[in-house]
Amino acid sequence: MSNLHFPEKSIFICDGSKCGKHKEIRKFLKEAIKDNGLKDHVEIVKIECTDRCKHAPILCFQPQNQWLSDTSIWEVEKVFKKLILEE
Ligand code: FES
């Protein structure tokens, strides 16, 4: 049997040259996952530029496939609560 583990939820974060500047968002999410004891259940996955640089920062919550653009910590926090903590 393999020990390979996959999380129930993932948060894809664009780490291209534009979105990657918004380190505060990744930092916030990392801490929120840790503070809620979700390290084994929610994973942050850095992805390459998605060609939406004008709308940086870009994020996508899975499995709900909820994309965020031009987002802020405030909005990310709201969506994290809804899609990660409540669903
Ligand atoms: S850097 Fe994020 S869409 Fe291009």
- The radius of gyration of the chain from alpha carbons, rounded to an integer in Å, stands at 13
Out of 26, 46, 53, 70, mutate this one to test ligand 1's pocket (max ligand atoms within 8 Å of CB): namely 53
**In 3-state terms, what secondary structure has residue 4?**
coil
pLDDT at 19: 97
pLDDT at 1: 63
Distance 30 CA to ligand 1 centre (A): 20
pLDDT at 3: 85
Ligand 1 atom index nearest CA of 14: 2
- Which of these, 14, 45, 36, lies nearest to 81 by C-alpha position? 36
Per-residue pLDDT of the chain (87 residues; tens, 9 = 90+): 678 999 999 999 999 999 999 999 999 999 999 999 999 999 999 999 999 999 999 999 999 999 999 999 999 999 999 999 998
Place of tokens 């948060």: 11
Q: Name residues whose C-beta falls within 8 Å of residue 8's C-beta, 6 or more positions apart in sequence.
A: 41, 42, 63
